[in-house]
Amino acid sequence: MIEYFQSNMWQLWLLVCLLCLILELTSGDFFIMCFSLGALAALVATPFTGFVGQLVVWMLGTVLCLLFVRPVMLKYFHKKDSDRPSNADALMGRTGTVSQTIVAGDHGRVKIDGDDWKAVSAATTDIPVGAKVKVVGRDSIILTVTPVNQ
């Protein structure tokens, strides 16, 4: 049985490689991918070396990938991550449609990309249902909007 495992170590490295690639899909930061590329290097080394040599190739391949490949991948794929807004900050400057009349000095509702948000008007007049508005600010999850002149 030991002979079988020794002669088919490539299957183990292929399994490690595929498992790490699947796990990489959940994170997206190219860290686990380096372990996958190290396992691919060990897979290539299976006909030439024993298990200990394969482990060394796997570790060396992983470290080299972390040092040289990952920074390039992060720079290429995550160019604008430092200034990428998320959640409610991503709504700034977006346009939406009023779904409940926004009374001046009171609240109403605005629909943006299928989501309904509580909103107040920066204008001094009421904004009727169906009017286009632009998000100009927010206070927690309450958006401040102005009418868009069509």
112 or 140: which carries more pLDDT confidence?
112
| Residue 100 zone, left/alpha/beta (φ > 0; ψ -120 to 50; rest) | beta
- Residues 117, 140 contacting (CB under 8 angstroms): no
What backbone torsions phi and psi does residue 142 show, to the nearest 5 degrees?
-100, 120
Q: Selecting from 3.40.50.10360, 3.40.50.10420, 2.40.50.140, 2.130.10.10, what CATH number does the domain 87-147 have?
A: 2.40.50.140
Tokens of 24: 């990489």
Return phi, psi of residue 37, to 5°.
-70, -35
Residue intervals of the chain classified under CATH 2.40.50.140 are: 87-147
| Phi, psi of 80, deg, nearest 5 | -110, 20
pTM beyond 0.75, yes or no: no
The answer on pLDDT for 26 being more than 90 is: no
What distance in Å separates the CA atoms of residue 139 and residue 119, rounded to the nearest whole number?
10
pLDDT digits (tens, 9 = 90+) for 90-126: 788 889 999 999 988 888 999 998 889 999 988 788 8
Average pLDDT of the segment spanning 136-142: 86
Q: Which two tokens stand for residue 123?
A: 């204008």
Q: How many CB atoms lie within 10 A of CB 136?
A: 12
